[in-house]
Amino acid sequence: MILPNAVPGPYRAPAWLPGGHAQTLYSSLFIRVPPVEYRRERLELDDGDFLDFDWVDGDPGQAVVVLFHGLEGSSASHYAYDLMRRVRQRGWSGVVAHFRGCSGEDNRLPRAYFAGDSVEIGRILRHVKSRHPDAPLHAAGVSLGGNALLRWLGESGAAAQALVERAAAISAPLDLTAAGNALDRGFNRRVYTAHFLATLKQKALKKARQFPGTLDADAIARAASFREFDTLVTARLHGFRDADDYWLRASSRPVLPAIRVPTLIVNARNDPFLPAWALPTAAAVASDVTLEQPETGGHVAFPSGPFPGNIDWMPQRLMQHFDTVQR
């Protein structure tokens, strides 16, 4: 069944849920989104590793939406269920592309995924396009996945038009230095950083056992900040000097002027993960980039409606953006 396209207005948070922390935590922990049934596809890579794709199959010739999830996310993330459900209702095809080690099975190599892995983004997009060569392909990225997608778009410039019709990034940490410093302080460090490190460290310690001499297991076990973890693990596995070098070189903000695909970038100004002062202005991005920076919304949240609320605004806004060029 194809539903009429919902056209959301500018985002405004419900009065009963004020503040960036409340909007972020409530949307993630308490708003329930119905699950989606996927078809799993595994792509074996030339380097000996693999990538897992979770598909919802639509009508032949209709648009395809690929979603790049956030840090430690997956096709089971609430935002993935919500977007893929909308995609299926429209008769489109959709796919959640898992980064390495995020599909429920450990990847095989001494590497993981990171916020600036534009090579991996390009590999994934080429694969998805090969499955639907004649259909419009739209790409969405959430948080870390949004930053990686924007890096690929900026580095590719006009060449990206051969693969992607339209793109969007939600709550992307455009300035990783600002985001990393914000997440390593106070409440953010005790809640969000501690939450992410619980699984990130577990995966890294398994890598240390699997590939002796690659990582310092004792130091990883003691790590209590993103700066420590990214220096000990992310930088070590992916060729950066340390966290500062990684954050500087992987940030998407410097390449936003080079984007040549119509791209929507949505960041709430009360996002706990990225301070508002680090957000770009319209003068700092390409003319093909549309910036939306509502005062409220939290991080990958944007709750709406009467209590107990929903997270429908975000997928509606994405579908509206992608619908503009639907053939």
Q: Enumerate the active-site residues.
A: 143, 271, 299
Please report, for the chain, how many H helices and E strands are present, in that order.
12, 8
User: Residue 27: which H helix or E strand, with range?
Assistant: helix 20-29
Task: Supply angle C-alpha 119, 94, 97, rounded to 5.
Answer: 30
Residue type, 23: Q
Query: SS3 of 74, please?
Result: coil
Cα four-point dihedral sign 222, 225, 228, 231:
positive
CA–CA distance from 222 to each of 185, 196, 228, 306 (Å)?
A: 17, 14, 9, 43
Which one, of 169, 155, 162, lies nearest residue 66 by Cα? 169
CA 174 to CA 176: how far, in whole Å?
Answer: 6
Residue type, 311: I
DSSP of 267-312, one letter per residue? Answer: --TT-TTS-GGGSPPGGGS-TTEEEE--S--TTTT--BSSTT-B--
CA 291 to CA 323: how far, in whole Å?
Answer: 18
Cα four-point dihedral sign 239, 234, 147, 103:
positive
DSSP of 111-180, one letter per residue? Answer: ----TT-HHHHHHHHHHHHHHSTTS-EEEEEETHHHHHHHHHHHHHGGGGGGT-SEEEEES--SSHHHHH
Pairing of strands 93-97, 166-170: unpaired
CA 317 to CA 10: how far, in whole Å?
Answer: 9
